């Protein structure tokens, strides 16, 4: 009996309507970030270029027929006045992406990133809390409704998805007000449908899908390639079976499909074709790898390889310091020139590296570690390429993997920083300390300059923030609905929302590198350096998903601005958090 029951649940899974998933997709993300960096570009046709490819463009440019993934030359021909900005360096995009994800985590801990510009949020819990505490609330849908709604499902999903659409609306409002970013959203009962319905109204709009509209949505897809999960290779195989439309995929014999694709994939695609998807929203944690790549026309000398790798490594060290973990392995990847191949073939080699490289002694930190890493990189390169013969590379990449999370002592500076200082402040703080160590060379890097110089702090309208008082216990449901009805009233000062928004600031725009690292005592210097290379998971320690413990500290930047550094150092040394003032 019980087995039968479980099986019924299993076979239903993926098509049951018990969850509420929101998919958010930032409009032409790279172009938006560039327009926030330089608002004069807003009214002009703007394209973001990587090498000879236009990776995205704003909606002004789209009116000229310019599209994503066009050759730059083609785009220029369509729109001679097109402004082009380089987008090979993803640093600013990554920063904004992080802030978007942090903002969404206020609504649910279940936030999954897909690339830099998309997030899935499972808001099932928040919807349930809202329905419980607000059973008489209005049940209107925010934004568009996709397709049919004449027949209503009786499982309760109508009310849940309505509330989901209201949450999505609030998410988009906050993304716009706090970060300046416009997004599309899709609301549905699984990930597949939320994502598919998201793109039915663009830009800066949202759409909710109810069960009655599912069939239309699926059948209106152009071909099987539009299904997330069917890529280049699988669609070619399907094509060879005579399958190109969703309807054909729905109707093909399962055993025939299994023969071509294997059981696992065949069964998944069959379900996807009718809009069933049982994938859970998996919270995105720290990355499994951090890497940089550079593509080019031709490299055929070992010295060029070494130069390229050195530049990549230098930029990579900054990303590594910001991440805070210590990598256990390094990987080198190359792409060889191959005129006969239509498919870009890569080869890679990796090796373990000693963690001692990242536990620096002050002053000797980097030239040593840097050289050893570069030596490892070149060894790996020689495993792939026999330099006694001519070679022709079109890409080089370096990546760190196998990260270890390091636990820190309770009395350490790291422990203090992680507990009481906002995320971005810690990052800036690392950079300050790195500036003081000659070998790191952060200040000579393009990226290091960006962090203290350019303001990604676009949407910060706040003046000085007073010390927040402990907020009364509020449920998440109270929080998001409350802030929706009265936009920024007095009691919002105490809402988790407000606390988080101060954490979400990227930088104050005030130069902060006057702090003289070398004047600190040796002991403090050493502990700081260690701290910077060993910060444990910041989001975990900061309790970002736990809005019942607001962050009551000043940011470290505020300390730098109001006080000369002396007082801060004293506090750090005595292991006391900043005092309220």
Yes or no: say if 119 and 195 are a contact pair by the CB < 8 Å rule.
no
Q: What residue has token string 């008489």?
A: 136
Q: Where are the alpha helices (DSSP H) in 365-495?
A: 365-384, 413-420, 423-435, 446-453, 476-485
Check: CB of residue 44 under 8 Å from CB of residue 31. Answer: no
Locate 378 and state its tokens.
């070149």
Question: With respect to DNA, which residue has the nearer C-beta, 399 or 568?
Answer: 399
Minimum CB separation of residue 203 from DNA in Å reads 13
Nearer to DNA, 232 or 461 (CB): 232
Q: How far is the CB of 290 from DNA (least distance, A)?
A: 5
Catalytic pick from 34, 112, 118, 178?
118
Closest CB 264 distance from DNA, rounded Å: 5
Closest CA to 271 of 190, 151, 157: 190
Instruction: Choose between 68 and 176: whose C-beta lies nearer to DNA.
Output: 68
Enumerate binding residues for DNA (CB under 7 A): 25, 50-53, 55, 69, 88, 90, 114-118, 227-235, 264, 282, 287-295, 319, 331, 343-350, 383, 394-395, 397, 399
Say how far apart CA 374 and CA 371 lie, in whole Å: 5
118 assigned to active site: yes
For DNA, give the closer residue by CB, 297 or 473.
Answer: 297
Q: How far is the CB of 32 from DNA (least distance, A)?
A: 13
358's CB contacts (< 8 A; 6+ apart) are 326, 327, 369, 533, 534
Question: What's the 3-state SS for 164-184?
Answer: HHHHHHHHHHHHHHHHCCCEE
Residue among 448, 462, 571, 468 nearest 512 (CA)? 448
Nearest-angstrom CA–CA distance, 442 and 315: 8
The answer to whether 164 and 229 are in contact (CB under 8 A) is: no
Q: How far is the CB of 245 from DNA (least distance, A)?
A: 16
CB atoms within 10 A of CB 526: 15
Q: Which is nearer to DNA, 397 or 496 (CB)?
A: 397
Question: How many other CB atoms are there within 10 angstroms of residue 405's CB atom?
Answer: 13
Could you tell me whether strands 53-57 and 70-71 are parallel, antiparallel, or unpaired per DSSP bridges?
antiparallel
Q: Which is nearer to DNA, 117 or 530 (CB)?
A: 117
Residue 413 CB, nearest approach to DNA (Å): 27
How many Cα atoms sit within 13 Å of 521 on the Cβ side?
7
Residues known to be catalytic: 118
């Amino acid at each position: 009996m019980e087995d039968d029951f479980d099986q019924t649940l299993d076979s239903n899974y993926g098509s049951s309507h018990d969850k509420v998933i929101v998919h958010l997709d930032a409009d032409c993300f790279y172009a938006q970030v560039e327009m926030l960096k330089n608002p004069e570009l807003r009214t002009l046709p703007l394209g973001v270029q990587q090498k000879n490819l236009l990776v995205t463009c704003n909606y002004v440019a789209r009116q000229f027929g310019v599209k994503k993934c066009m050759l730059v030359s083609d785009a220029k021909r369509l729109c001679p006045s097109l402004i082009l900005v380089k987008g090979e360096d993803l640093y600013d995009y990554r920063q904004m992406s992080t802030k978007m994800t942090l903002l969404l985590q206020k609504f649910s801990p279940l936030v999954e990133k897909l690339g830099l510009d998309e997030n899935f949020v499972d808001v099932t819990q928040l919807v349930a809390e809202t329905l419980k505490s607000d059973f008489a609330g209005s049940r209107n849908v925010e934004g568009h409704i996709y397709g049919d709604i004449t027949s209503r499902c009786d499982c309760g999903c109508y009310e849940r998805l309505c509330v989901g659409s209201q949450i999505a609306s609030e998410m988009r409002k906050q993304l716009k007000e706090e970060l300046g970013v416009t997004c599309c959203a899709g609301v549905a009962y699984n990930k597949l449908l939320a994502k598919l319905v998201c793109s039915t109204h663009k830009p800066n709009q949202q759409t909710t899908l109810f069960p009655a509209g599912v069939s239309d949505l699926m059948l209106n897809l152009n071909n099987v390639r539009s299904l997330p999960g069917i890529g280049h290779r699988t669609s070619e195989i399907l094509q060879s079976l005579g399958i190109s439309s969703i309807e054909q995929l729905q109707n093909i014999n399962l055993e025939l499909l299994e023969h071509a694709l294997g059981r696992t994939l065949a069964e998944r695609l069959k379900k996807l074709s009718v809009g069933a998807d049982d994938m859970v929203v998996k919270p995105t944690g720290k990355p499994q790898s951090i890497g940089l790549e550079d593509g080019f026309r031709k490299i055929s000398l070992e010295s060029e390889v070494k130069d390229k790798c050195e530049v990549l490594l230098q930029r990579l060290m900054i990303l590594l310091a910001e991440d805070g973990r210590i990598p256990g392995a390094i990987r080198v990847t190359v792409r060889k020139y191959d005129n006969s191949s239509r498919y870009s073939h890569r080869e890679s080699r990796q090796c373990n590296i000693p963690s001692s490289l990242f536990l620096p002694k002050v002053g000797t930190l980097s030239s040593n570690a840097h050289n050893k890493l570069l030596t490892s990189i070149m060894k790996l390169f020689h495993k792939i390429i026999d330099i006694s013969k001519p070679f022709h590379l079109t890409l080089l990449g370096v990546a760190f993997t196998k990260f270890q999370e390091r636990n820190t002592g309770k009395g350490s500076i790291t422990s203090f920083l992680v507990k009481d200082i906002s995320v971005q402040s810690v990052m800036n703080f690392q950079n300050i300390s790195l500036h003081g160590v000659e070998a790191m060379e952060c200040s000579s890097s393009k990226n290091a300059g960006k962090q203290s110089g350019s303001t990604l702090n676009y949407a910060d309208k706040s003046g000085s923030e007073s010390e927040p008082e402990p907020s009364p216990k509020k449920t998440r449901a109270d929080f998001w609905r409350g802030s929706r009805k009265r936009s920024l009233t007095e009691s919002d000062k105490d809402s988790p929302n407000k606390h988080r928004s101060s954490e979400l600031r990227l930088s104050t725009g005030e130069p902060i590198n006057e702090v003289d690292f070398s004047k600190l005592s040796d002991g403090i210097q050493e502990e700081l350096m260690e701290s910077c290379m060993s910060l444990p998971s910041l989001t975990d320690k900061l309790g970002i998903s736990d809005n019942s413990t607001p962050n009551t500290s000043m940011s470290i930047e505020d300390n730098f601005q109001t006080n000369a550094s002396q007082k801060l150092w004293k506090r750090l040394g005595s292991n006391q958090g900043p005092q309220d003032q």
